Each structure stands twice: as structure tokens, then as C-alpha cells.
Amino acid sequence: MTDVVALASMLDDAARTATAIPQLTATTSLTLDKAYDVQRAGVALRTERGDAAVGVKLGFTSKAKALQMGVSDAIIGVITDEMRVDDGGEVDVSRLIHPRIEPEVAFRLGPDIDPDDPHDDPQTAVLEIAPALEIIDSRYRDFTFSLEDVVADNTSAARFVVGPWRPFESAQARLDLGNLGVVLELDGAVVETGSTAAILGDPLRALPAVKRMARHHGLALPAGSIILAGAATAAVSLPSQPGISVVATVTGLGRVCLTTVGGDVDG
């Protein structure tokens, strides 16, 4: 267990000082279960400092990314209050190592989901849906890692922004949530376009996946939890200059944005 806490501390220091470290698996043998133990210990370090878990996120939800990593299942991480940025708010890039940004869809739970109850249908617990932006920032040098490394690193979770919440039931009645157009703009230019179909074929599939993985890895899904379903396009590097605007638009759900601050004026 000491080993697990020591590994979690290394990743935690890397995040707090915005300093990349070598992959843990370069010097330590890590199974997937142990990697999730390291992730849990890292989240515990955050909560001991007063941060709070506010939900979960899925990674490797696109076929392309899963193939690239040679994995057949998504991975799950924890998002916390300190990672949250208001819609239209500022992200200080000087506090991040090599951030990348991806457009996503977020769900918010009304009641809690009991991961251990096989009769608890996760979709019926969803109250709201929104467009979202996730900033991932691997704590590893060159953004290079194994599956176990990235799980230990809390799936590269760094910041997230959620746009306007809309009632889930009416969005589902009115829209084909499995194929909504998605546009990502950086500094006024379109840099990625895609579809919500890139998220597990349909972002609604994120809900049973989250429940299954929460059960397996001992994560709670209390009332009000936010679920980041996964990326609808490839992730794009977030420039390290201040004043860069990022906008994601999901057809029918609306837009969500942020602006960079801090960092190097010359990039």
C-alpha cells in the first residue's frame, strides 16, 4: 500500500507543480487493478486537501483511440471540484504541463445510481445533459504512457467545463443523441468536427459503462454526479498563450467555452 501511495504522490506532485515525470511503468510493475489503486490514492490526496469528487469521466471511448492503445474497453477516472471551470471562464495554462482539449457530452444525475444493484437502470437516473469541454493533461513526459500509466494518472483528467444544462428527457425526445454534430473552435478557427457517434457509438452507452466500471473499481455515483461521456473528436493541443478562446458546439445542445490565461505571451 505504501508503494501505491508513493506512486500516487509522485503523480500528485507532478500535477501540482506542472512538471512532467517519466512513466511509472518504466520502473515499477503495474497491473490494471493496481493502477486503479494508485488512481484512488491520488484522489484521496486531493480530498484530504479539501477538494471533492463531483463525478466521473470515461476515456478511450472512441474506436480510433482504443485501437491506438490496443484496448477493448474504456477507462474511468474521477473529476473533482478543483478541476471545474465555469462556462465562459478562464483556464490558467501556466498551471498545466501540455494540455489538450476535447469536446464532450456531459450528463448529470438526479438520484444516485447504485452500481451494485443490477435493476438500477442508469439512464433513468439522468436528469440533465450538456455540451462540455475536457482538458486532459498527462503528467507523463511527451504525453506518452501505457494503459496502466494513464489509469494511475486518473485518465489525464485536469480541467472540465460544462455548458448549459438541459432536461435530459426532452433532449432525448427531440434529438438523436447518438449522432449530433460537434464543432471545436480554437481562437475563432474550426480545428475539429465530429459527431457524438464517436463516443462509444452513442453517448448513452457511457451510462451502463460507467455503472459497470464504478462497480468494478469501487466508485460511488451519488445524486448530482456529473458524467463526462467521452470525446467526440480527437484531442487538440491547447496553446500555452493567454487570450485563446475555445468553443465547442454540439448541435441541439448548445455551446460551451473558455479562455486561456497565464502562460507565455509568445506561446
Choose, by CB under 6 A, the member of 150, 158, 171, 244 that binds ligand 0L1. Answer: 150
156 binds, among ligand 0L1, Mg ion, none (CB under 5 to 8 A by kind): ligand 0L1
Contact window for ligand 0L1 (CB under 6 A) among 18-26, 32-40, 54-62, 123-131: 54-62
Q: Which residues contact 256 (CB under 8 A, 6 or more apart)?
A: 87, 130, 131, 132, 133, 161, 162, 163, 164, 247, 248
Q: Which is nearer to ligand 0L1, 105 or 136 (CB)?
A: 136
* Distance from the first to the final alpha carbon of the chain: 41
Q: Is 96 in the site for ligand 0L1 (CB under 6 A)?
A: no
Give strand pairing partners of 102. 134
Give min distance, CB of 26 to ligand 0L1, in A.
17
Choose, by CB under 5 A, the member of 35, 79, 231, 238 that binds Mg ion. Answer: 231
Inter-residue contact 42 to 149 (CB < 8 Å): no
Q: Which amino acid is present at 95? A: R
Give min distance, CB of 110 to ligand 0L1, in A.
24
Inter-residue contact 237 to 100 (CB < 8 Å): yes
Choose, by CB under 6 A, the member of 23, 39, 155, 240 that binds ligand 0L1. Answer: 155
Closest-by-Cβ residue to ligand 0L1 is 59
Angle between helices 2-17 and 32-48 (to 10 degrees): 60
Sign for the pseudo-dihedral over CA of 230, 232, 235, 236? negative
Q: Is 59 in the site for ligand 0L1 (CB under 6 A)?
A: yes
**Of 29, 49, 38, residue with least CA distance to 10:** 38
Contact window for ligand 0L1 (CB under 6 A) among 43-51, 90-98, 131-139, 204-212: 131-139
Q: Is 134 in the site for Mg ion (CB under 5 A)?
A: yes
Q: Is 229 in the site for ligand 0L1 (CB under 6 A)?
A: no
5's grid cell: 501511495
Which residues are at the interface with ligand 0L1 (CB under 6 A)?
Answer: 57, 59-60, 134, 136, 138, 150, 155-156, 230-231
